Structure 1
Amino acid sequence: MLSRFALKSPSAKILATASLSTMSLYSLTGTASNGDSISMDDFKGKFEKLGSRWADDLVILAFPSREFGAQEFDSDDKIAEFARSKHFPGILMKLGNVKGPDASEIWKHMKAESGAPDPTWNFNGKFLVSKSGKVSVPRNVESDIEALMAEDDEL
């Protein structure tokens, strides 16, 4: 499962004493499928490409998981190879869970901030993150992204 996460600026080293609900998404760090550490702060005010429509204004993070009928490949390398073959325009996070206590800290944070339930199937879990770091679940991905793009550039 490549649960998608569209970011406008948003997945996990967390201080043991910190509460997820009091933390900013931008204070979290995750691990990409190639093992690189990715700080969410790097995306604050900076965006990557989603097709040509939003050019340098959007970052997509995918969180591969085998929790849905084991449909996903069983290694980060195989997932990355498949994503390259499909010209996936985003960043692949490390293969892991998106449900329950073993989900990545970034995923748990987005879920807690938005009030979203665990995803029930592939591509079912999506989050949008505003320039200021507010996490929401899109109702209509395209129009919700357009609304976020129109937000004031001040953080």
Structure 2
Amino acid sequence: MRRHLTAGLAAVCLAVGAAFAIAPTASAGPLDATCTGTVAVDYSPGLTLTAQTVTASATSTYPSCLTSQTGVTSASASGSVTDTLDCNSLLTTTTGVKTYHWNDGTTSRFEYTRTGTRVLSQTVVTFTGTITSGKFSGDTAVETNIAANLGLLDCLAPGGVTHVDFTALVELT
């Protein structure tokens, strides 16, 4: 049974917009790029309250980018990881690599530290690090993903939580 966390999505989107409006930029320097979009994550098997080996597959789309580079207006990223996860794993700190694919055919390799926290009814996952190669190499990067908190009943349901949709903001300076 596929469990989706979409209840209250409109409220989350409004809160996300407010959070992004007051969020500080990655550093004091000028923005080289700022992108908004979504991140869809599928979990197999689903997340439950018990830690188990899970494959998390993420597809990120950033259809709206303002950049310092002529013609760069959107980006995407995708990937998967297999790890020991449970419903609280979004709040753990870990490191990783993500590659942004820009609409002009170039890429940016992002090496990050991921942290997570709960703010009211939202889970905020922040990726902070550096673009280590490709377009915008040397930039500081911050990606903030926000979703509704995972509900206890969703985590207890047969099959657990198999999908989470995040709203995303990327800032490169």
The answer, yes or no, to whether TM exceeds 0.5 is no
- The structure number with the bigger radius of gyration is 2
- TM range, normalised to the smaller chain? under 0.3
Report the structure, 1 or 2, having the larger helix content. 1
Report the structure, 1 or 2, having the larger strand content. 2
TM-score (norm 2): 0.25
